[in-house]
Chain A
């Protein structure tokens, strides 16, 4: 294997992932500078229709983390399908790692959305279609992780989790449409929403933010995946010992009278 990607036997990092992490750290710093200081507020002659002022800066975080959480759940769904087809452990671990990181990003999406709502609408929570369907999605994936935590056998867990991982994602558009129609009845689109027209440095801040968010997702997910992978290998090492111990039972038992076989054999 390329030494760049070789993993430390007892760790979760490789040289490549360390370099990636450092680059990411710098990128996050640059992003914060661009998003919070360098890019202009949404006001003056270049402002968008709903002229959000400094409030627009929340969007540079909110939209990218939202994109990252959808990406994460999409990866979980793809890995779940791949597991159901291939039945190989790696896909299951990938689905699990991605879902865990996705849940973190979903919480961030809801938190930043709520902060925005507090300033724009004056309430911490509004039954906005997007916020509502994101909240439901969060609960679905909390359920997914709960299921993974409740099943002990790795093969059974992988099978069941793969079905839930697939169903959970198939459900996202249905929830979205139903909630959208539902709120559409009471709430015509007069309320100011989080979608200003953007251009120039604002657009750059948003795009850069998405890139950084996806990269942070990848970095976290890769480490989570490796942790699970190492754990699975550790359990596999135990298997050789268990097989040897199991075979040793036979020698003890065949030496003794089967009726008075040692307790260890039962």
Chain B
């Protein structure tokens, strides 16, 4: 399976880059925590709004941090001659796409673990239904990373990248925000029954965009 081999190469390279530069650990994760703190300033922490809104605030913080992680992930691929090198490399474009998605998923799962600890500590909410929480994180993150990688390469190398990427990506991932928030809300209410339906939608979303990304990535890698 040369696609998986190539995806593994890209994943390994991205994890190594993170080990060398610590951009996710040192900048993006602290930013996510900062957003949680800012929500507390915006919503009075004494009136229980925070604990009730925890699922939505958690996923908003994830979404904003994802944008930063994405910009970092595709900034490195727009470096000195790297787009040409990727085209000449012999790597399967679908493999490059899956590798970028996998790298983002790993980084974002770390972010989500830290943010979950953050909401538990700062907002005083205790999660229940651990299984639903975990699988929701996995499916939602896969969907976000798939859409993000698709739009990340699309806007890579453009002068207006930083402003265009959120405008293109956020409305498309709105269903992920809704579904993941509802699934989390169900998990926090200990009513996971309805949460599984949202989880199903997240899985469909992730699969759809993984397929679109694998098919379309070559076309986007072509010229930039």
Chain A: residues with CB nearer than 8 A to chain B?
A: 84, 136, 139-140, 142-143, 146-147, 150-151, 153, 155-156, 159-160, 162-164, 166-168, 170-171, 174-175, 177-179, 181-182, 185
- Taken together as a complex, chains A and B put the C-alpha atoms of A140 and B178 apart, in Å, by 17
- Whether the Cβ atoms of B178 and A150 lie closer than 8 Å is no
Contact between chains at B158 and A136 (CB < 8 Å): no
**CB–CB B160/A150 < 8 A:** yes
Specify the chain A residue showing the minimal Cβ separation from B219: A159
Q: Which residue on chain A has the smallest CB distance to residue B208? A: A170
**What's the minimum C-beta distance from B221 to chain A, rounded to whole angstroms?**
10
What number of A-B contacts does a CB cutoff of 8 Å give?
83
Q: Is the CB of B164 within 8 A of A150?
A: yes
Nearest opposing residue in chain A for B185, CB measure = A185
CB-based nearest B residue for A176: B175
Enumerate chain B residues within 8 angstroms of A147, measured Cβ to Cβ.
154-155, 164, 168
Q: A174 contacts B219, CB within 8 Å?
A: no
Which 10 pairs from chain A and chain B are nearest by CB?
A178-B175, A143-B168, A139-B171, A143-B167, A163-B216, A140-B171, A156-B223, A178-B178, A150-B160, A182-B178
Contacting pair A174 B208 (CB below 8 A) = yes
Main SS at interface, chain A: helix
Contact B212 A182 (CB under 8 A): no
- Cβ distance A162 to chain B, nearest Cβ, rounded Å: 8
B52 interface hit (Cβ, 8 Å): no
Per the 8 Å Cβ criterion, residues 184-205 of B in contact with A are 197-198, 201, 204-205
Q: How far is the CA of A179 from the CA of B201 in the complex (A)?
A: 12
A156 to B155, CA, bound (A): 11
Contact status A167-B182, CB under 8 Å:
no
What residues of A have a CB within 8 angstroms of the CB of B160 in the complex? 150
Quick check: is B19 within 8 A (CB to CB) of the other chain? Answer: no
- Interchain CB contact (< 8 A) of B212 among A140, A155, A170: A170
Query: With a CB–CB cut-off of 8 A, which chain A residues contact B106?
Result: none
* Cα A174 to Cα B200 with chains together (Å): 12
Contacts of B49 in A (CB 8 A): none
- A188–B53 CA distance with the chains assembled, in angstroms: 22
B150 near A167: Cβ-Cβ < 8 Å: yes
Q: Is the CB of B158 within 8 A of A153?
A: no
* B224 within 8 A of partner (CB): yes
In the assembled complex, the CB of B194 is this many whole angstroms from the nearest CB of chain A, namely 8
**Distance A241 CA – B218 CA, assembled complex (angstroms):** 33
12 A–B contacts, CB within 8 A, in A order: A140-B168, A140-B171, A150-B160, A153-B223, A159-B219, A159-B223, A162-B219, A163-B220, A171-B171, A174-B208, A178-B178, A182-B178
Q: Which of B168, B182, B201, B212 contacts A177 (CB 8 A)?
A: B201
Residues B174 and A160 in contact, CB atoms below 8 Å apart: no
Complex CA–CA separation, A59 to B63 (angstroms): 37
Is B66 close to A, CB under 8 A? no
Q: Say if the beta carbon of B222 comes within 8 Å of chain A.
A: yes
Which of A156, A160, A179 touches B178 (beta carbons < 8 Å)? A179
